[in-house]
Amino acid sequence: MSSQLRPSRAYEWPTLCLLALTYTLWVSITLYAQTLGPALSILLLSPVITLHSSLQHETLHTIEPRWKFFGQLMVFPAIGLAIPYIRFRDSHLQHHNNENLTDPYDDPESGYMVKEVWTSLPRWLQIILTFNNTLLGRLLIGPLIGQIAFMRADWRLIKAGNRAVLIGWLVHIPAVILVLSWLLTAGTMPIWAYAVAAYAGLSILKIRTFLEHRAYTQPNGRSVIIEGQCPLSFLFLNNSLHAVHHAHPQVSWYNLPAYYRTSKAKFLGENRDYRYANYATVFRKYFFHAKEPVEHPLWSLENRHDR
């Protein structure tokens, strides 16, 4: 690996500077929201919240492994409100077991269901979940569906006595209080407007997660590459090159494009050419059409029990 493609620098200055800029924008928008007006405030704040989520993802891979407390402190304010950072970190690291990618049970970020569960659902719920597999649906209802599924799974773990999950949610409380305290004291943005911006920020993030994994027999062929560089690629910190990230999660966001270009043929061979030219292609193809069935084509309760 060349020097410019080292997995990470001694100090992640690009990430730290971008995080400082993100908080500066967040403070400025919420502070002057009354002057900007609700609509413009929401429009400006939503991508900032998306970027903060991407920075949380970057932090858990490149900063927290070396400076755990410092990494957690950097992303402690829950400006997106919904997802506890500690729970996101732990479930996402579990998701990085590439052998289990898309497994409805062992991959906590899988959107698939096994046939037996899918066919047992009422028809109205099947219609909603199928709509959620269109990009339009993922933008409109994806954050709500994802939040419900995430919280239900964590509630089961808490009831089963998992203290780590409980602690993750308890730590989330002061992280949310910190944000709400700012909004209610120094900030001028109405709580309802902030909630809309937070939801919109998660909606933008759903564009990235929409098809970043597919059901495929070989683990390497399950992660996508979206090649075009655009504002969305930046908001996602180049995680659109998702197969590259899964192969080398320690490589920092600012190195991923060069890393991909250097070994493009290798990555496309490994991921069985699961790629799109850009996000515009994704919108044209899937905005109104489901990308795939909710039912996992390769998994069932029977083969799970055989493992």
For residue range 287-301, list pLDDT tens digits in order: 999 999 999 988 776
- Residue 215 phi/psi, 5-degree rounding, is -75, 125
| Strand extents, DSSP E, the chain | 225-226, 275-276
Joined together, the tokens standing for residue 178 give: 């910190």
The closest of 180, 189, 185, 175 to 89, measured between CA atoms, is 175
For the chain, the structural domain boundaries read 11-305
Report how far residue 307's alpha carbon sits from residue 87's, in angstroms, rounded to the nearest whole number.
27
pTM over 0.85: yes
Q: What is the pLDDT of residues 240-252, one digit of tens each?
A: 999 999 999 999 9
Biggest alpha carbon–alpha carbon distance for the chain: 61
Q: Quick one: CA torsion of 189, 193, 198, 199, rounded to 10 degrees?
A: 180
pLDDT on residue 12: 85
pLDDT on residue 42: 98
Q: pLDDT-derived band of residue 304, with 50, 70 and 90 as boundaries?
A: low
- Residue 159: how many other CB atoms lie within 10 Å: 10
Q: Give the CA distances from residue 175 to residues 86, 133, 149, 189, 232, in Å, rounded to whole numbers and listed in that order.
A: 11, 31, 21, 18, 27
Q: pLDDT-derived band of residue 302, with 50, 70 and 90 as boundaries?
A: low
State yes or no: pLDDT of 5 exceeds 90: no
Report how far residue 151's alpha carbon sits from residue 32's, in angstroms, rounded to the nearest whole number.
33
Mean pLDDT for the chain?
A: 92
Q: Read off the pLDDT of each residue in 145-173 and give the average, rounded to a whole number.
A: 96
Instruction: Classify residue 273 as left (phi > 0), alpha (psi -120 to 50) or beta.
Output: left
96: Cα within 13 Å, side-chain hemisphere: 17
pLDDT on residue 9: 54
Q: What is the pLDDT of residues 218-263, one digit of tens each?
A: 999 999 999 988 999 999 999 999 999 999 999 999 999 999 999 9
Q: Read off the pLDDT of each residue in 15-32 and give the average, rounded to a whole number.
A: 97
Separation of CA 218 from chain center: 23
